[in-house]
Amino acid sequence: MSRNIIITGGAGFIGSHVVRLFVNKYPEYKIINLDKLTYAGNLANLCDVEQKPNYKFVRMDICDYEGVLHLMQEEQVDGIIHLAAESHVDRSIKDPFTFARTNVMGTLALLQAAKTYWDSLPEKYEGKRFYHISTDEVYGALQMDGTLFTEDTKYQPHSPYSAAKASSDHFVRAYHDTYGMPTIVTNCSNNYGPYQFPEKLIPLFINNIRHRRPLPVYGKGQNVRDWLYVEDHARAIDTIFHRGNVAETYNIGGFNEWKNIDIVRLLVATTDRLLGRPEGADEDLITYVTDRAGHDLRYAIDSRKLQRELGWEPSLQFEEGIEKTVRWYLDNQEWLDNVTSGEYEKYYENMYSKR
């Protein structure tokens, strides 16, 4: 069965892994990567699939309702996997308006374009799917008591980022309840792995260790996160898109909780070893800085529903995933330097301004 699928944010960290998986696994599908190419979007993440016959890139803002509608009509789109989002909490604290625009209004534009196009077809919603990827941060914070976020956990967002994502989740569910659109929502824990923009903890600290720069840890480093290797998340998205039940929510997590300070020490030990330095030699780079406003204490996902109903489970232990991740960044220093310098942004602006 052939399908025409839009993957939004496909030039970003998680999105590029999903695009790669779908392009390579489903040659009968047409995969349309729709990305605005903000600072976190980089087509170099997909250079290995850009010439594939079933791949197409479209530079577009998801807030462009008319543009998205025209693209859906032109490509006869029957599926949307929606990953495009502003996602960095620190940036959301400084600029909440951008997060509301992209995460809320952008999602609404996609939903309305999908509704308008699919409503115009004789078969309506038959065979269609709108899959919205969200975050565990919409649930708020957990105490250090072993409890986990489930699909029934009440939403209690604490940052502009998580508030914007929570709002977009509600719109997706409302389009199912009001119009009958076949939607699915997933909430995932922290991802790590290759191609992550180095403002996030793991790639930032690998790069800082490499250059012997300070490793700024918020507060005392006691905040806990549940970590999932990005390729495992991409596999989960594949499974849920094809086999998940309409109108359901699925939590995706690694059952892999780590305190931030313990992750930093593991990164130091692993990076030093792979650089040929004495293991732990760079622990003196760790510095403690004032905690972030509204910094949630702990996130932890219960993904047993996904395991039980669809058979998905994470494939890597954290230490193994960190080893692969650190090695990838050290082996791809040109990519890391290019992203850190911002040169790729200038290249895209010049390229697309001439069209």
Token digits of residue 345: 């942004």
Question: How confident is residue 344, by pLDDT bands cut at 50, 70 and 90?
Answer: low
Distance CA 241, CA 79 (A): 9
Contacts of residue 44, defined as CB under 8 A and 6 or more positions apart, other chains included, come to 335, 338, 344
Write the single-letter amino acid at 57: F
Encode burial over 171-192: b for 16+ CB neighbours within 10 A, e otherwise.
Answer: bbbebbeeeebbbbbbbbbbbb
Rounded Cα distance, 139 and 137, in Å = 5
**pLDDT tens-digit readout, 238-297:** 999 999 999 999 999 999 999 999 999 999 999 999 999 998 899 999 999 999 998 999
Q: In the annotation, is 175 catalytic?
A: no
User: Tens of pLDDT along 96-135?
Assistant: 999 999 999 999 999 999 999 999 999 999 999 999 999 9
pLDDT attached to residue 311: 98
pLDDT at 353 over 60: no
Q: Are 84 and 106 within 8 A, CB to CB?
A: yes
Among 136, 226, 257, 296, which one carries the catalytic annotation? 136
Query: CB–CB of 134/186 below 8 Å?
Result: yes
If residue 81 lies in a helix (H) or strand (E), which one and from where to where? Answer: strand 79-82
Judge contact between 179 and 115, C-beta under 8 A: yes
Dist. CA 87–CA 14, nearest whole Å? 11
Mean pLDDT of 20-46: 97
Please state, in angstroms and rounded to a whole number, the distance separating the CA atoms of residues 335 and 257.
29
Tokens, residue 62: 């998801």
Task: Return the SS3 of 325.
Answer: helix
Residue range 51-75, pLDDT digits in tens: 999 999 999 999 999 999 999 999 9
Other Cβ atoms less than 10 A from the Cβ of 218: the count is 17
Least confident of 136-145, 169-178, 196-205, 340-349: 340-349
CA distances from 54 to 16, 147, 237 (A): 15, 43, 19
The candidate with the shortest Cα–Cα distance to 105, out of 64, 161, 67, is 64
pLDDT for 279 equals: 85
Over the stretch 207-225, which tens digit does the pLDDT of each residue have? 999 999 999 999 999 999 9
To the nearest 10°, report the CA torsion of 298, 304, 306, 307.
Answer: 130
- Maximum separation of any 2 CA atoms in the chain, in Å: 67
255 φ/ψ angles, rounded to the nearest 5 degrees: 45, 50
Q: Residue 85: pLDDT above 80? A: yes
Query: Residue 350: pLDDT above 90?
Result: no
Task: Tell me which DSSP letter residue 43 carries.
Answer: G
- Concerning whether 352 is annotated as a catalytic residue, the answer is no
Nearest to 216 by CA among 296, 325, 293, 290: 290
Q: What is the mean pLDDT of residues 226-233?
A: 98
Q: Report residue 1's pLDDT band, with 50, 70 and 90 as the boundaries.
A: confident
What's the rounded mean pLDDT across residues 167-173? 98
What ranges in 153-224 are assigned the alpha helix state H? 160-179, 201-210
Q: What is the pLDDT of residue 349?
A: 65
Is 161 labeled as catalytic in the residue annotation?
Answer: yes
Residue 355 clears pLDDT 80, i.e. is over it:
no
- pLDDT of 342 reads 76
When pLDDT is cut at 50, 70 and 90, the band that residue 348 belongs to is: low
What pLDDT is recorded for position 351? 57
* Alpha carbon separation from 167 to 1, 34, 133, 249 (Å, rounded): 34, 22, 13, 15
Q: How far apart (Å, rounded) are the C-alpha atoms in residues 81 and 10?
A: 9
For residue 341, what pLDDT is reported?
87
The catalytic residue among 139, 161, 175, 299 is: 161
Q: How far apart are CA 99 and CA 279, in angstroms?
A: 40
- In which band, very low, low, confident or very high, does the pLDDT at 163 lie, cut at 50, 70 and 90? very high
Place of tokens 């495009």: 84
Strands 190-192 and 215-218, by their bridges, are unpaired
Strand-pairing partners, residue 304, are none
Across the chain, mean pLDDT equals 96
pLDDT at 347 over 90: no
Average pLDDT over residues 169-188: 98
For residue 132, what are the β-bridge partners?
82, 185
Q: Among the options 35, 137, 169, 232, which is catalytic? A: 137
Tell me the CA distances in angstroms from 333 to 326, 336, 339, one per residue in order.
11, 5, 10
Token couple for 256:
């892999």
